[in-house]
A = this chain, B = another copy of it.
Amino acid sequence: MNIDNNQLRQYIENTADLMEEHGLPRMAGRVIGALMICTPPYLSHDELAEQLQASKGSISMTTQLLTRVGILERISLPGHRKHHYQLRSRLWQDLLSTSSEHIQQHRRLADDGLHLLKDEPAEAKLRLIELQVFSDFILELLPEMADRWERRRPELMEERLAQLA
């Protein structure tokens, strides 16, 4: 499939917009967008460069970044020397555990803060303590959510696919 179509281009830009809000470079968002809608579900290095009208260098930087953070994976296709990339399949489950890491950063910040305020009255610490307690609450919940998703995904997907048929 070529990204020949204006609407598909637009879709990719919209994805880039959204990903930008999450702190990724636009180009990374474009790559994700393209890989969400292409058939087959992977693109080679230079297909990406061509279809996103970006330089090879920029694609290289971007695939590197997205691979590092676990969003992309590189695949080898028999009979091709080119690298191909596709979205990791357990992306959504993984999102739950990367959230964990984010929350832990906040929790650690709260710990630091409390250490600095150790001689202050309890009242002064309330904001930081609430952050700690909330973080712990979420950290406890996330594995449960991941677990539930794991269990329910097959049935939910099946339901959803049945609707299409």
Q: A149 to B137, Cβ gap below 8 A?
A: yes
Query: Any chain B CB within 8 A of the CB of A127?
Result: yes
Size of the A side of the interface (Cβ < 8 Å), in residues, is 55
Dominant SS at the A interface? helix
Complexed CA–CA distance, A131 and B37 (Å): 12
Q: How many copies does the complex hold?
A: 2
Complexed CA–CA distance, A108 and B22 (Å): 16
Interface of A toward B, CB cutoff 8 Å: 1, 5, 7-8, 11, 14-15, 18, 21-23, 35-37, 39, 41, 87, 92, 105-106, 109, 112-113, 116-117, 120-134, 136-138, 141, 145, 148-149, 152-153, 156-157, 160-161, 164-165
A11-B116, A92-B130 known; 11 new pairs, CB 8 Å cut-off, are A18-B105, A22-B23, A36-B131, A37-B116, A39-B121, A122-B165, A129-B157, A130-B157, A133-B160, A136-B156, A137-B153
